[in-house]
Structure 1
Amino acid sequence: MTIPSLDLQIQTLPDKPGVYQYFDKEGKILYVGKAKNLKKRVSSYFNKIHDSGKTNVLVKKIVEIKHIVVPTETDALLLENNLIKKLQPRYNINLKDDKTYPWICIKNEPFPRIFPTRRMVKDGSEYFGPYTSFKTVNTILDLVKELYPLRTCNYDLSQANIRSGKFKVCLEYHIGNCKGPCEGYETQENYHNQVNAIREILKGNFKESLKNFKKLMNDLAMDLKFEEAQKIKDKIEVLENYQSKSTILNPKITNLDVFSIVSDEAMAYVNFLQISHGAIVRSHTMEIKKKLDETNEEILELAIVELRERFHLNAREIVVPFELDLGEKITVTVPKLGDKKQILDLSERNAKYYRLDQLKQIKIVDPDRHTNRIMAQMQKDLRLSVEPRHIECFDNSNIQGTNPVSACVVFKDGKPSKKDYRHYNIKTVEGPNDFASMEEVVYRRYKRLLDEKQSLPDLIIIDGGKGQLSSALKSLEDLGLRGKIAIIGIAKRLEEIYYPGDSVPLYLDKKSETLKIIQHLRNEAHRFGITFHRDKRSKNAIQSELELIEGIGEKTIEMLLKHFKSVKRVKEASEKEISEVVGLSKAKKISEFYKKI
Structure 2
Amino acid sequence: MIDLKDVPQDPGCYLFKDAEGTIIYIGKAKNLKKRVSSYFQKTDHNAKTKRMVSEAADLDFIITASEVEALILENTLIKRHQPKFNIDLKDAKSYAFIRISDDPFPRIGIARYRGGKKGGTLYGPFVSAAERDHVLAFIKQTFHLRTCRKMTRRACLRSHLGTCSAPCQGKVSEPEYQYQVKSADLLLKGKNQDLIASLKGEMVEHSEQQDFEAALAIRDQITAIEHLSERQYVQRQKQANEHIINYQIVSGTVYLILFTIERGTLTSKEEFVFPDTEDFLEEFIIQYYAGVKPPNELILPEMPDSNIEEYLSNIRETKVTLTIPVQGAKKHLLDLVMKNIEASFFAGKMRVIELGEALHLPAPPDVIECFDISHLSGTGTVGSMVSFQDGKPDKKNYRRFRIKTVEGIDDFSSIAEVVKRRYSRLKKEEQPFPDLIIIDGGQGQLHAAEAELRELNLSIPLISIAKREEEIFTTGRALPIPLSKKSPASLLVQEIRDEAHRFAITYQRQIRRKKALS
Give the TM-score normalised by the residue count of structure 2: 0.45
Higher relative contact order (CA 8 A, sep 6+): 2
Richer in strand (by share): 2
